[in-house]
Amino acid sequence: MKLRNVGRRYGRGGPWVLRGVDLELPAGGLVRIDGANGTGKSTLLRVLAGIDRPTEGQVADRPRTAFVPERFPAALPFTASDYLVRLGRIHGLRGTVARERAAGWLERFGAEAHDRTPMDELSKGTSQKVAVAQALLAEPELLVLDEAWTGLDVPARTELDLAVAERIEAGGTVVFVDHDPRRLAGALDELYTVVDGGLVRRTGALPDGAEAGPETRIVAVGPPGAEPPDGLPGVPAYETGPDGRLTLTAPAERSDALLRALLTARPPWHIEEVRAALPVVPAARAVLPEPAQGSAGPRADGRSPDDRSDGSDGSGRSASPTTTTRHLTS
């Protein structure tokens, strides 16, 4: 999708909230929008999601879109699963598919016990899970998240991180605003800041106050003389050893996708080792305590052992701080 010279103001003669915004959203890309309060982030998201039309400028090539608002008031006369099935049908799904996916997403977010609860009796967090499930069950080409993590419990946040990575892996685009600068910081493809109603693209930088998330190192052996496959998820840094072993380092959020890409490459690669990467500690910050996951031992997904126990996800955002500097390539 492309935005060309987009401007938006409310009411004729009102001040411009956005002006002269040019933006091209990459397929399979994760885009973060930053900006101080009241700078027009939400306005931009509403234009991106197709809720509002820009006052001037064009939006071209709109894909199938889904939106998750920050606060989802549940004053609707439906049960959670009834609402999700109806939204699935509005997204263009058949009834049976919508029902299956609604149940699946409620389960993934740990809200399956509430599928028959009326929406106006749901807690704030469970309402937010329904709002997130509504968007994910549509498997949209463009997913717009306006602080969608707010109000979710920790497992649900992790699950949403993972779902975002899956959407990107499937070729979708995800645009998000979040108050936590570390949110998906390691997996970002592009970062923009809204300043004075305009959009400033920042490359090679993490959001203010963010540190790169944990990384995963994968050692793989390919067919003799083979180059690593193109377009690997997470844009991993890699080096080839003298024995033909390839060592790849990628954000932990993308490690599952990266493994899948290597295993399903033609010809496939053989995985020899997967472990949490030791963060590169810059000299100036070397006095910081050693991050916990550096000594966590070889785990298949680079998570700290207490992260989750069912082994069903690999998003692996760990709470322990790391000080790796990453340069975004996009």
Partner 1 sequence: MTALLGYQSAMLLRSQRWLPPVLMYGIFLVVGVQAGQPVLDALGYAAAALLPVTAWLVRICVTQEPAAARAVVAAASGSYRAHLAALLTATLFACGLGVLGTVVVSMVSRPVNADYTVRVPPLSAGTAGLVAAVVCLLLGAAAGALCSRPLVNARGRGIAANAVVALLALVAVGSPARSAVSGLVRGSLTGTVGIPGTQLVLSALVAAGAGALACAVAARRG
User: If we measure between CA atoms, which residue out of 32, 33, 254, 250 comes closest to residue 165?
Assistant: 254
The CA-based dihedral angle spanning residues 275, 157, 325, 167, taken in that order and rounded to the nearest 10 degrees:
80
Report helix, strand or coil for 302.
coil
Site mask for partner 1 (CB under 8 A), range 141-160, x = bound: ---x----------------
Distance (Å, whole) CA 165 – CA 154 = 17
Smallest distance, Å, CB 49 to partner 1?
4
Question: How many positions of this chain bind partner 1 (CB under 8 A)?
Answer: 32
Smaller CB separation from partner 1, 132 or 246: 132
Q: Which stretch binds partner 1 (CB under 8 A): 31-39, 64-72, 188-196, 232-240?
A: 64-72
Smaller CB separation from partner 1, 51 or 263: 51
Q: Report if residue 57 touches partner 1, rule: CB under 8 A.
A: no
Figure out which of the listed residues 71, 179, 260, 270 binds partner 1, where binding follows CB under 8 A. Answer: 71
Which ranges of 109-143 does DSSP label H, i.e. alpha helix? Answer: 124-136
Classify the C-alpha dihedral 122-125-131-133 as positive or negative: negative
Between helices 80-90 and 95-108, what is the axis angle to 10°?
130
Classify the C-alpha dihedral 165-168-172-176 as positive or negative: positive
Smaller CB separation from partner 1, 76 or 219: 76
Longest dimension (CA), the chain: 68
Smaller CB separation from partner 1, 6 or 262: 6
Q: Report if residue 15 touches partner 1, rule: CB under 8 A.
A: no
Q: Report if residue 97 touches partner 1, rule: CB under 8 A.
A: no
Q: Which stretch binds partner 1 (CB under 8 A): 23-31, 45-53, 263-271, 305-313?
A: 45-53
CA distances 245 to 98, 122, 143, 256, 271, Å, are 44, 52, 37, 19, 10
Smaller CB separation from partner 1, 51 or 154: 51
Figure out which of the listed residues 19, 46, 99, 157 binds partner 1, where binding follows CB under 8 A. Answer: 46
User: If we measure between CA atoms, which residue out of 217, 215, 216, 220 comes closest to residue 272?
Assistant: 220
Figure out which of the listed residues 3, 68, 111, 274 binds partner 1, where binding follows CB under 8 A. Answer: 68
Q: Which stretch binds partner 1 (CB under 8 A): 17-25, 104-112, 131-139, 220-228?
A: 131-139
* 105's tokens: 């997403």
Q: Report if residue 91 touches partner 1, rule: CB under 8 A.
A: yes
Q: Report if residue 217 touches partner 1, rule: CB under 8 A.
A: no
User: Taking a C-beta distance cutoff of 8 angstroms, is the pair 307, 314 a contact?
Assistant: no
Q: Which stretch binds partner 1 (CB under 8 A): 134-142, 155-163, 227-235, 291-299?
A: 134-142
Q: Report if residue 129 touches partner 1, rule: CB under 8 A.
A: no
User: If we measure between CA atoms, which residue out of 107, 108, 114 comes closest to residue 83?
Assistant: 114
Smallest distance, Å, CB 159 to partner 1?
19
Q: Which stretch binds partner 1 (CB under 8 A): 69-77, 238-246, 295-303, 306-314?
A: 69-77
Residue 181: HSE in the Cβ half-sphere, 13 Å Cα cutoff:
13
Smaller CB separation from partner 1, 138 or 232: 138
Of how many residues is the chain composed? 330
List interacting residues with partner 1 (CB under 8 A).
10, 46, 49-53, 55, 65-73, 75-78, 86-87, 89-92, 131, 134-135, 138, 144
